[in-house]
């Protein structure tokens, strides 16, 4: 039977953002292949018999994340056999905590995390390790699995990859008009090099689902997933700070307290049994982080190792902070600096011309935590990538930051080789890479602050007519229906059905 273009259920092409038209960086790249798509090209793509097209932006993005995770697995393949001789794990940039800790945490001996062996991770990450590790060990003991370490890594790579795909799917769910934003996550170079360095993708996926449920105004589910994410890594609790700022500004507290209560209850359900029965194991994570000194690549590390000429490195103030065995002064300084940044975010959120978007504030708080912190592990970039995509989906500054992260990743492995007795380059090279990572992230932070101070510059608000698609109850501007009304019946455009 004949149908009309614009019939209810047809895809609203005019409401979906095309990066080649809205992003200057992508627009410039598109000129090399003939320029951005025109209106006719957008509307004449191959469609399925039912009227939709198969290769929708969402499916393309999901294909991209699957391809990127596959490439990452190949990049880590040289280290899967656990035969790390002659610094193989550094020379091939394939080191992963997942495989190393299978042995270090006693999983290869069938030890249960917390019950038989103290684990330096929050409870849900320890449980994740045990749930995957103990069956692998059991199969190895029964002779079904030959190389248990390799199998453990592969299983983790698949499951962590699923959580990475989940994070991309959650991003797509809240950005129906800007599906290509999720491609920033899917194609992030930092994802290629860091996806399975540790178990952070597990937390990233849970956090992304929490943000998606908040956007859909389901605070209980948002709180549950935020509580689960915080039980796996601590950084998701910082997102509550963004919710708090917006609640203060808007006076909307009901959903905030609902999510907060659900989050605390969920965290307690996960943590309290372990804390009660295995307190010494449970508290190790907190003690370990309190006693940690200056870690690689941080602001504090730069101060302690900055090249001053004549073969001298570092400033005494920072070096003295690192030699203190208790690190009490270091803890006070970095926490104080972080709280100052949080106060700045609060002032920014309360004085901005329009209430900031949730993702913008969350990105600023987590970025401040990393910039000021005493620990900035290479895989922590995964915390920021989905938040950066939601906060400022612009390709130029994002890719500049990602390039700096990859340069840091490469220089870090050279630094590890130097620390193991095989000098690759002077200390100043690693310090320079650390500075570049910090500066490019700070520039991205500056752009997000500018978008908050000048909301007309915010591309997300431009697409959503001033609203916040991630804001949930804070979004005063309801998203209009994606399906446009059908055209007047007097001017139908017939489609032959054969």
Q: Looking at residue 30, what is its pLDDT?
A: 45
Mean pLDDT calculated for residue range 261-265? 98
Q: Looking at residue 496, what is its pLDDT?
A: 40
Q: Looking at residue 53, what is its pLDDT?
A: 75
Of 128, 141, 115, the C-alpha closest to 282 is 115
Mean pLDDT calculated for residue range 168-194? 96
Confidence grade of residue 299 (pLDDT, cut at 50, 70, 90): very high
- What six digits make up the tokens of 407? 């340069």
Q: Is the pLDDT of residue 322 over 80?
A: yes
- What six digits make up the tokens of 148? 């248990």
- What six digits make up the tokens of 333? 């300084």
Confidence grade of residue 25 (pLDDT, cut at 50, 70, 90): low
Greater model confidence, 4 or 385 = 385
Q: Which residues contact 89 (CB under 8 A, 6 or more apart)?
A: 79, 95
225 vs 48: CA distance, rounded Å: 36
As beta bridge partners, residue 93 has none
Of 431, 428, 425, the C-alpha closest to 90 is 425
Mean pLDDT calculated for residue range 237-245? 98
Contact 448, 392 (CB under 8 A): yes
Q: Looking at residue 17, what is its pLDDT?
A: 61
As beta bridge partners, residue 309 has 312
Q: Looking at residue 311, what is its pLDDT?
A: 76
Q: Is the pLDDT of residue 215 over 50?
A: yes
Q: Looking at residue 263, what is its pLDDT?
A: 98
Q: Looking at residue 3, what is its pLDDT?
A: 37
Mean pLDDT calculated for residue range 390-408? 96
Confidence grade of residue 420 (pLDDT, cut at 50, 70, 90): confident
Listed range (256-270, 329-343, 372-386, 411-425) with the worst mean pLDDT: 411-425
Listed range (18-32, 136-150, 267-281, 453-467) with the worst mean pLDDT: 18-32
Q: Looking at residue 19, what is its pLDDT?
A: 65
Confidence grade of residue 490 (pLDDT, cut at 50, 70, 90): very low
Listed range (177-186, 204-213, 269-278, 459-468) with the worst mean pLDDT: 459-468
477 vs 462: CA distance, rounded Å: 12
Listed range (46-55, 58-67, 68-77, 122-131) with the worst mean pLDDT: 46-55
Confidence grade of residue 9 (pLDDT, cut at 50, 70, 90): very low
Mean pLDDT calculated for residue range 205-214? 98
As beta bridge partners, residue 307 has 313
Considering 177-181, 284-288, 446-450, the range whose residues carry the highest mean pLDDT is 446-450
217 vs 215: CA distance, rounded Å: 5
- What six digits make up the tokens of 158? 């698949």
20 vs 37: CA distance, rounded Å: 7
Listed range (135-139, 304-308, 390-394, 443-447) with the worst mean pLDDT: 304-308
Distance of CA 374 to the CA centre of its chain: 19
Distance of CA 27 to the CA centre of its chain: 26
94 vs 196: CA distance, rounded Å: 10
431 vs 415: CA distance, rounded Å: 10
- What six digits make up the tokens of 410? 């490469």
As beta bridge partners, residue 313 has 307
Q: Looking at residue 23, what is its pLDDT?
A: 60
Q: Is the pLDDT of residue 43 over 50?
A: no
Mean pLDDT calculated for residue range 320-336? 92
3-state SS string over the chain? CCCCCCCCCCCCHHHCCCHHHHCHHHHHHHHHHCCCCCHHHHHCCCCCCCCCCCCCHHHHHHHHHHHHHHHHHHHHHHHCCCCCCCCHHHHCCCCCHHHHHHHHCCHHHCCCECCCECCCCCHHHHHHHHHHHHHHHHHHHCCCCCCHHHHHHHHHHHHHHHHHHHHHHHHHHHCCCCHHHHHHHHCCHHHHHHCCCCCHHHHHHHHHHHHHHHHCCCHHHHHHHHHHHHHHCCHHHHHHHHHHHHHHHHCCCHHHHHHHHHHHHHHHHHHHHHHHHCHHHHHHHHHHHHHCCCCCCCHHHHHHHCEEECCEECCHHHHHHHHCCCCHHHHHHHHHHHHHHHHHHHHHHHHCCCCCCHHHHHHHHHHHHHHHCCCCCHHHHHHHHHHHHHHCCCHHHHHHHHHHHHHHHHHHHHHHHHHCCCCCCCHHHHHHHHHHHHHHHHHHHHHHHHHHHCHHHCHHHHHCCCCCCCCHHHCCCCCCCCCCCCCCCCCCCCCCCC
Counting residues of the chain whose pLDDT is more than 70, the rounded percentage is 85
Q: Is the pLDDT of residue 379 over 90?
A: yes
Q: Looking at residue 14, what is its pLDDT?
A: 46
Confidence grade of residue 257 (pLDDT, cut at 50, 70, 90): very high
Q: Looking at residue 484, what is its pLDDT?
A: 42
Residues 83-99 pLDDT 10s: 898 899 999 999 999 99
pTM, two decimal places: 0.88
Q: Looking at residue 15, what is its pLDDT?
A: 56
Q: Is the pLDDT of residue 27 over 70?
A: no
> What integer best gives the mean pLDDT of the chain?
88
Confidence grade of residue 466 (pLDDT, cut at 50, 70, 90): confident
Confidence grade of residue 31 (pLDDT, cut at 50, 70, 90): very low
As beta bridge partners, residue 312 has 309
Q: Looking at residue 18, what is its pLDDT?
A: 62
Listed range (60-64, 322-326, 466-470) with the worst mean pLDDT: 322-326
Q: Is the pLDDT of residue 481 over 70?
A: no
Q: Looking at residue 308, what is its pLDDT?
A: 86
Confidence grade of residue 20 (pLDDT, cut at 50, 70, 90): low
């Amino acid at each position: 039977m004949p149908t009309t273009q614009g019939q209810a259920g047809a895809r609203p092409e005019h409401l979906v953002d095309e990066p080649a038209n809205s992003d200057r960086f992508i627009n410039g790249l598109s000129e090399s292949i003939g320029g951005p798509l025109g209106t006719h090209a957008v509307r004449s793509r191959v469609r399925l018999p039912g009227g939709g097209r198969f290769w929708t932006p969402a499916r393309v993005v999901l294909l991209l994340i699957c391809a990127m995770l596959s490439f990452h697995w190949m990049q880590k393949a040289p280290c899967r056999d656990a035969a790390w001789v002659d610094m193989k794990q550094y020379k091939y940039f394939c080191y992963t905590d997942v495989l190393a800790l299978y042995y270090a945490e006693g999983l290869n001996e069938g030890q249960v995390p917390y019950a038989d062996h103290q684990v330096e991770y929050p409870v849900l990450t320890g449980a994740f390790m045990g749930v995957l590790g103990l069956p692998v060990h059991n199969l190895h003991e029964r002779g079904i699995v030959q190389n248990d370490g390799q199998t453990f890594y592969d299983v983790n790579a698949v499951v962590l990859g699923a959580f990475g795909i989940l994070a991309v799917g959650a991003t797509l769910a809240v950005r129906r008009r800007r599906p290509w934003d999720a491609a920033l996550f899917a194609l992030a170079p930092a994802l290629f090099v860091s996806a399975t360095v540790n178990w952070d993708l597990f937390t990233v996926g849970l956090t992304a689902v929490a943000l998606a449920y908040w956007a859909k105004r389901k605070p209980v589910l948002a709180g549950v997933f935020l509580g689960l994410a915080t039980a796996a890594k601590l950084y998701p609790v910082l997102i509550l700070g963004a919710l708090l700022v917006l609640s203060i500004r808007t006076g909307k507290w009901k959903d905030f307290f609902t999510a907060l209560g659900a989050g605390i209850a969920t965290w307690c359900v996960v943590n309290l049994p372990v804390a009660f029965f295995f307190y010494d194991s449970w508290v190790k994570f907190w003690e370990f982080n309190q006693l940690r000194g200056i870690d690689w690549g941080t602001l504090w590390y730069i101060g302690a190792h900055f090249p001053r000429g004549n073969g001298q490195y570092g400033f005494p103030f920072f070096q003295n902070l690192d030699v203190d065995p208790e690190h009490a002064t270091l803890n006070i300084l970095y926490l104080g600096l972080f709280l100052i940044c949080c106060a700045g975010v609060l002032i920014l959120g309360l004085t901005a011309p329009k209430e900031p978007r949730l993702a913008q504030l969350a990105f600023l708080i987590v970025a401040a935590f990393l910039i000021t912190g005493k620990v900035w592990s290479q895989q922590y970039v995964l915390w920021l990538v989905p938040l950066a995509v939601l906060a400022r989906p612009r390709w130029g500054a994002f890719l500049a930051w990602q390039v700096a992260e990859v340069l840091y990743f490469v220089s870090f492995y050279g630094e590890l080789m130097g620390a193991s007795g095989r000098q690759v380059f002077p200390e100043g090279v690693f310090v320079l890479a650390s500075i570049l990572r910090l500066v490019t992230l700070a520039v991205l932070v500056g752009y997000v602050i500018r978008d908050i101070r000048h909301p007309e510059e915010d591309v997300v608000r431009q697409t959503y007519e001033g609203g916040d698609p991630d804001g949930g109850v804070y979004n005063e501007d309801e998203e209009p229906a994606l399906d446009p009304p059908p055209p007047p019946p007097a001017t139908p455009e017939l489609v032959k059905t054969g």
